[in-house]
Amino acid sequence: MQTQKPAKRKEHKKLGKDKLERIIDMMKGIESHTVDPFLLNIDEIIRIVQEYFPDWDQPEELNLDSEAIHHLATVIKLQSEWVKQRSTSLYTDPFLLEEKITQKNKQELTRVFLHAWHPIVELEQVTLRSLADAKRYWDALVPLKERWEQEAVTEVAMGTTSREELVEQSILRDEAFSAELERLWKELKDKVQAQGKEGKLAYMDWVSADTYAETVQRAYLTSFLVTYGYATLEIIPLEDEIFISPFDEPASKMSKQAVSVPIMLTFESWRKWKRGERD
Amino acid sequence: MSAKRKGAYAAKVKRATHMLFFRRHQKPGVKGWELHKALGSDYPKVLDVLDDFLKPLDLQVKTVFEEEKVPEKPTLDELDKARFYVTLRGDLQPKEAKMIGWRIDDLAGLAITISYVISKKGQAARRDAEELLGEKLPGWKVGLNIDRYIRYGYLQQDDNEQLYLDWRTRAEVDQKALIDLLLRSEEEDKDAAESEEEEADEKSEES
């Protein structure tokens, strides 16, 4: 291959890539059970893979090569399962069986089935002992009116309630939810500008507050900030880090596939954060 | 075996009979671990003794293992995970099947559906099974019958309307025998039917 001219070598590589891609497509078809696994000539595939392997030097080319090998292994596994299934005594050709079934009448089919059917035997019977036990249970059972005794409820006159009372009982919040989100969004932008790096802030630094309850409440509201497109999360799984960055304008998420991101916010993680802050 | 030991075994056999014959849960049968707990670690022996007692009555203790493949020499752990039933040892005559509440149509439909699922490697589309049953059963009955087989535990259905064999088929139906019998040539069938009729005639003459 070293002696090949660059243009010819490029063409050869392109041909090899096309062949591998076609092979991978076919093997994917086999894996999804749309193509018979025995339609593939394994020896021929191996020969092609071997032929072009010395040409690959780019990571994506090597990736293609390994993908082809990976799918080939899966197809061989499928072929082996196919052979195993057909070699078992229970394998029957569905077409042959359908043919036999349609030929037989109801009486014949029933007679055949009765030879292979051994129904379960069960008894249902009350005994004197079980009746005596049931009687004892009944005698010991507290009457319904005593078991489900109504709780005494004091009757009060009808009246009206104020917004302040509802806020106090946590039924209403003291500010409208959207206004609260707007306020939080502004706070996030200010905080990112003051403390953030590259327009983002560590998630724990953002949600954590002086108390755990407040922290949970901030995390709850933050989830809406992200859902409604006021901010976005950046997750780095290998380093186990999560960052939040605000948008200048609320972004429409309609075009993107919504993904739920569960984030653990335990009391311990909050305490750890707090100790780190105070130390 | 000493008299005391015999007595202990007799008591265990009696207890096993109660457990196996009377339904304890929603499904019939008893799990191995329940028998282990109630009868002790020698419960497989107790079941063997019970099976011997049941033989003359044409009944048997049937073991259905968790895995579909039946182990040659099951370990105690495998037995603990298995489910035990008492089933008919031999087979029923068509008249007897009627007596236990099965119409011939429904039984034939069950035979077709089970064998069709087996032939499709244990999984078949409900639509295909309905089509097959529809060749010989009225359309309104086909869906009802499959629902009935599912309700009784012969079949189960997933969200994609795929049918699988369920616990009752594994406990009651000798799948290999069913397929072999279905595939047998018609000549053999006729011979078998004739010899069965002769046997039945002989029996009725004797009685």
pLDDT at B84 over 70: yes
Domain-terminating residue out of A87, A116, A131: A87
For residue A118, tell me if it sits in a domain: no
Chain A residues inside the 8 Å CB shell of B121? 85
- pLDDT of A181 reads 83
C-beta atoms of B111 and A109 within 8 A: yes
pLDDT bin (cut points 50, 70, 90) of residue B2 is low
- Number of Cβ pairs < 8 A linking chain A and chain B: 128
Nearest to B97 among A114, A124, A125 (CB): A114
- pLDDT value of residue A173: 65
Q: Indicate if the pLDDT at residue B74 is higher than 60.
A: yes
Do the Cβ atoms of B116 and A103 come within 8 Å? no
Q: Do A92 and B183 touch (CB under 8 A)?
A: yes
pLDDT at B207: 47
Residues 6 or more apart whose Cβ sits within 8 Å of residue A76: A42
B145 versus A126: which is more confidently predicted?
A: B145
Asked which of A84-98, B39-53, B89-103 is least confident by mean pLDDT, the reply is A84-98
Residues of A in contact with B181 (CB under 8 A): 112, 115-116
pLDDT score of B48: 94
Residue after which a domain boundary falls, among A87, A109, A126: A87
Q: Summarize the confidence of residues B151-166 as an average pLDDT.
A: 92
Confidence of residue B142 (pLDDT cuts 50, 70, 90): very high
In the prediction, which pLDDT does B51 show? 95
Contacts of A109 in chain B (CB under 8 A): 107-108, 111-112
Which run of H or of E encompasses B14?
helix B3-21
For the domain spanning B95-186, the CATH number is 1.10.10.10
Evaluate if residue B88 carries a pLDDT over 60. yes
Residue of A89, A120, A126, A129 to mutate for B, most B C-beta atoms under 10 A: A120
What is the H or E stretch that residue B61 is in? Answer: strand B59-64
Chain A touched by B86 (CB under 8 Å): yes
Q: What is the pLDDT of residue A1?
A: 46
Extents of the domains making up chain B: 3-90, 95-186
* Residues of the domain holding A72: 6-87
**CA B62 to chain CA mean position, Å:** 8
Q: What pLDDT shows up at residue A90?
A: 60
Q: CB-CB: which of B28, B89, B182 is closest to A97?
A: B182
Contact between A92 and B179 using a beta-carbon 8 Å cutoff: yes
Query: How is chain A classified by DSSP, letter by letter?
Result: -TTS-HHHHHHHHHHHHHHHHHHHHHHHHHHTTSS-GGGS-HHHHHHHHHHHGGG--SHHHHHHHHHHHHHHHHHHHHHHHHHHHHHSTT---HHHHHHHHHHS-HHHHHHHHHHHB-PBP-B----HHHHHHHHHHHHHSPPHHHHTPPPP----------HHHHHHTTSS-SS-HHHHHHHHHHHHHHHHHHH-BTTBEEHHHHH--SSHHHHHHHHHHHHHHHHTTSEEEEEETTTTEEEEEE-SSPPP-TTSPP--------HHHHHHHHHHHH-
Is the CB of A89 less than 8 angstroms away from the CB of B176? yes
State the pLDDT at residue A279.
Answer: 40
pLDDT(B199) > 80: no
Burial tier of B119 (Cβ tally within 10 Å: 0-12, 13-18, 19+): buried
To the nearest whole Å, the CA of A118 is away from the closest chain B CA by 5
| B34 close contact with A: CB closer than 8 A | no
A239 in a structural domain:
yes
Quick one: what percent of chain B has pLDDT higher than 70? Answer: 86
Task: Report chain B's mean pLDDT, rounded to a whole number.
Answer: 85
Which residue stretches of B70-103 are H helix? 76-81, 94-99
Best to test chain A binding among B24, B95, B107 (most A CBs inside 10 Å) = B107
Residue B11's pLDDT is what? 92
Query: Which residues in chain A are contacts of B179 at CB distance < 8 A?
Result: 90, 92, 97
> Is the pLDDT score of B32 beyond 90?
yes
DSSP, collapsed to helix, strand or coil, labels residue B64 as strand
Give dist(CA B126, CA A10) in Å, integer.
53
Domain tally, chain A: 2
Q: What is the CATH number of the domain that holds A190?
A: 1.10.10.580
Chain A residues lying within 8 Å of B118, measured CB to CB: 90, 92
Which of the two residues, B68 and A2, has the higher pLDDT score?
B68
**279 residues of chain A, pLDDT tens digit each:** 445 577 788 888 888 888 889 888 888 888 776 667 777 788 888 998 998 888 888 888 899 899 999 988 988 888 887 777 666 656 667 777 778 877 888 888 888 888 889 989 887 776 777 778 877 888 888 877 777 766 666 777 777 777 677 777 766 666 677 788 888 899 999 999 888 888 899 998 899 888 888 888 888 889 888 888 889 888 877 677 889 999 888 776 544 556 677 888 888 888 888 877 544
CA dist B118 and B163 (Å) reads 10
- Chain B residues whose CB is inside 8 A of the A117 CB are 91-92, 172-174
Q: CB–CB of B120 and A94 under 8 A?
A: yes
pLDDT beyond 70 at B169: yes
* pLDDT score of A278: 44
Task: Please tell me which of the candidates B88, B112, B178 has its beta carbon nearest to residue A121.
Answer: B88
pTM for the model: 0.52
Residue B172 has its nearest CB partner, among A97, A119, A125, at A119
Q: Chain B partners of A83 at a C-beta cutoff of 8 Å?
A: none
Residue ending a domain, among A60, A87, A114, is: A87
Q: Which of chain B's residues have a Cβ under 8 Å away from the Cβ of A81?
A: none
- B171 near A CB under 8 A: yes
Distance CA A31, CA A43 (A): 18
Q: Distance from B2 to chain A by nearest Cα, in Å?
A: 31
Phi, psi of A134 (to 5 degrees): -65, -40
Query: Residue A97 and residue B100: Cβ atoms within 8 Å?
Result: no
Q: Look at residue A140 and tell me if it is in a domain.
A: no
Chain A residue with Cα closest to B129: A98
Q: Give yes or no for residue B205 having a pLDDT over 90.
A: no
**pLDDT of B31 higher than 90:** yes
Comparison of pLDDT for B94 and B40, the residue scoring more: B40
Cβ contact (<8 Å) for A119 and B186? Answer: no
Contact call for B172 and A104, based on CB within 8 A: no
